[in-house]
Amino acid sequence: MISQMSIPENVSNKPQYWAFRVDRNHLSILDKELENGRLRQGWGWDPRQNLKELTLNEGARRNMRMLQVRKGDRILIPHLPSYGQISIVEATQDWREGYRFSILEEIGEFGHIFPVKRLKIFTNNNAHVPASLRSTFRNPCRFWKIDYLSNDIEQVIQLPDADLTSSSAPVDRWKGKIGEIVKEKLLSDTLHAAAIQLNSKAEWEWILVDALQRLNPAWDVKRVGGKEEAKHGADILATIPDIFGNGCMGIAIQVKDYKDVVGDAPLAQIRKAVSYWEEEDTSIVQLVLVLVGAKEKDNQQLKEAAKAHDSKPSVRIVWTEDVKDMVYRSACHYLSECAD
């Protein structure tokens, strides 16, 4: 229930500023909804996920923070109306009051609806737009506050629409169309299925090392599995130098090719990494369990077990849906390198 969460009252007429991600698999549909004043968010496929009467979480609770948005607040949305473009919208009501829940029938999802109107559209690489508005989207969250960008956002809102249409807009639209076609052809599913058929669990570790290194060139990603894995619990270690000069900061990753329902044992296994790697001068900031063939919807007990443990850092679970996306994006990088 909304009353269970403390949400600040509207004590000021000064707008707040937010960034809001949408699902890139359904951009054209979500943009049509936006044109009709409905900004939709995912994790809403069951009426019990209505934020005003929430009884089924499954990720929906993360959207509760969105109810802090007030009438007149500005929201930046990447990749709407299409890939490479950014929309600035304004909340037409306090979202605490204007929020409603209605599942988008053609998809069976995106039931969370927030009232907005579009103010501006600009291309990601437009010369008139401050770089700060692009760099904020390095943040991986689905929703975050960007009040520090208020002046830059207001500056863009005041620009003539003609100044916000980049000469590269046709290229951006073409990139978006390529993305849509690729999604329709289910290439990520095909690549993932081929990788599962081709590789054992140990070979998957090498594939993920390659994928993670391509997608995160600033990190040092290496396979550390094998006989020593029983001691330190990790198959892959990604490290970056500590900015204060004391060794490294690291992400320890355990890879499992389990299918269907997964037990709790991998959680205990990956938690060994914290103490072991500290002795190797690497401070583990995140533990990750990668499940190559297991789906989130089949493993609610494992999700709860990962969250319930008191130890820090917590264990993040990467499900097969996320692995598909990672394999696909790394394959695109590989093709780009081949073309060069």
**What letter would DSSP give residue 109?**
B
d(CA 27, CA 328): 19
Q: What is the pLDDT of residues 143-166, one digit of tens each?
A: 999 999 999 999 999 998 878 865
Does the fold of domain 187-339 match that of domain 2-178? no
Question: Residue 137 phi/psi, 5° resolution?
Answer: -80, 5
Measured over the CA atoms of residue 141, residue 143, residue 145 and residue 150, the dihedral's sign is: positive
Q: How confident is the model at residue 12, as a pLDDT?
A: 60
* 200 pLDDT more than 60: yes
| pLDDT classification of 306: cutoffs 50, 70, 90 | confident
Per-domain boundaries in the chain = 2-178, 187-339
d(CA 81, CA 74): 17
Mean pLDDT of 154-180: 71
For the domain covering 187-339, report its CATH number: 3.40.1350.10
pTM (predicted TM-score): 0.55
Mean pLDDT of 192-211: 75
- The DSSP annotation for 53-102 comes to G----TTGGGGGGGGG--TT-EEEEET-SSTTEEEEEEESS-HHHH-EE-
For the domain covering 2-178, report its CATH number: 3.10.590
Q: How confident is the model at residue 2, as a pLDDT?
A: 46
Is residue 116 within 8 A of residue 88, CB to CB? The reply is: no
Q: How confident is the model at residue 4, as a pLDDT?
A: 46
Mean pLDDT of 307-319: 82
Name the residue with higher pLDDT: 221 or 335.
221
